[in-house]
Amino acid sequence: MGSTELKKIDINKVRSDFPILKREVNGKPLVYLDNGATTQKPKQVIDAIIHYYEEMNSNVHRGVHYLSQISTDAFEVTRRKVKEFINAEHEHEVIITKGTTESINIIASCYGRAFIGKDDEIIISAMEHHSNIVPWQMLCDEKGCKLRIIPMTAEGDLDVETYKTLFSERTKLVSFTYVSNALGTINPVKEMIAIAHQHEVPVLLDGAQAVQHLKVDVQELNVDFFAFSGHKMYGPTGVGVLYGKENFLNNMPPYQGGGDMIKEVTLEKTTYNELPFKFEAGTPNIEAGIALANAIDYINELGLEAIKRHEDELLAYAIQELSKVKSIRFIGTAKEKSSVISFLIDGTHPYDIGVILDKLGIAVRTGHHCAQPVMDQFGIPGTVRASLAVYNTKEDVDVLVAGLNRAADMLL
């Protein structure tokens, strides 16, 4: 066994790294179970942001003075760490963006502009977050192309056999999520990517709910584009990543025009910069970009295998204990799941459950989770979603179960 397999999460040490977990909400200790929306930040990440503003604040990639140079160096450290974290072949295949949403929009805009035309087809799935639906609908409205949808089973799995039948000579791109934000389903992404490549169709993978839970190797997956956000992996908001294979990125037009994405500008013509800067117009969210490296370090220090084992044990315990709650109904019961439990208490509205839990200091998400087509398939307006992270405990689950029993007693 490798040393990473032998690691065990020291939950008390981990929890001590997150200052916000010490606070109270409505006079109760905070139980934070909304990690699918955003994770809390360890002190190492918070300190990196403070350090940037106190010691380094300057624009990047443009100055010869000392502060600009050290800021640029720190920003580029993040790119190198992202490359290693997802095992990209080249640093310049790592584009720093605002987050998963912008990363997907870059592909919809730039790849779509260059390679997708009238009556062409894009395959997405029925379980996508709105950020992996709406950009393609906008492209279809603009270009006259069409969406084809991978259906979903009643358990919340993608129907891979039907997926195989969706390809045609008009298929230009496949885009789907690694892990469902609404159901927690882990999709068979390697198999699905291979199927697309049999038809010589590139694949964009939404990894927003994956990189904080699962080891991702973009070369092993052979995925063409991969998108994720910093704020869901213990990093800052407003920063994320678009990975793309070099040949695709080189052949795509830029997303935005402005500073840093140019090589030479005259009033008649502009020559674009090389990768990765071609897709990084304007001043980035510098402090967030720098602090993302600290979030990656934090995950690496704990070890993704140890994180996954801790979260899998917690997920199994949570499903076991929640099953005892009166009138509970789980939404999404796929065999392969990651850290998300969506449910209803029959006879109640998710919003009412969420409000009562909040009064008890318990933070969950209620609603459609930016996945309205998923809710439509199940014939419901939304769910209560409890999503887990490395700092959550069985005690958190016990508090949630007690809170749900109390809510059920009040509302039923």
* Segment 364-383, tens digit of pLDDT: 999 999 999 999 999 999 99
pLDDT category of residue 264 using cuts at 50, 70 and 90? confident
CA distance 307 to 8: 8
pLDDT category of residue 95 using cuts at 50, 70 and 90? very high
Q: How many CB atoms within 10 Å of residue 322?
A: 17
Is the pLDDT confidence value at 268 over 80?
no
Give the up-direction half-sphere exposure of residue 369: CA atoms within 13 A in the CB hemisphere.
35
CA distance 268 to 45: 44
Q: Write out the catalytic residue numbers.
A: 370
CA distance 368 to 314: 24
Least confident of 5-19, 90-104, 178-192, 311-325: 5-19
Residue 404, token pair as written in the block: 């749900």
pLDDT category of residue 120 using cuts at 50, 70 and 90? very high
Better-scored residue on pLDDT, 64 or 291: 291
CA distance 24 to 31: 9
For the chain, domains (ranges, CATH) are 3-32+303-411 (3.90.1150.10), 46-300 (3.40.640.10)
pLDDT category of residue 1 using cuts at 50, 70 and 90? very low
Amino acid (1-letter code) at residue 128: E
Helices 304-322 + 394-411 axis angle, to 10: 30
pLDDT category of residue 6 using cuts at 50, 70 and 90? low
Sequence-separated (6 or more) residues with CB below 8 Å from residue 282: 256, 258, 259, 260
363 beta partners: 32
Nearest alpha carbon to residue 132 among 118, 144, 150: 150
Is the pLDDT confidence value at 385 over 50?
yes
Q: Is 347 left (phi over 0), alpha (psi -120 to 50) or beta?
A: left
Q: Give alpha helix (H) positions in 303-370.
A: 304-322, 350-359
DSSP for 133-170 reads: THHHHHHHHHH--EEEEE-B-TTS-B-HHHHHTS--TT
Question: What mean pLDDT comes out for the span 108-124?
Answer: 97
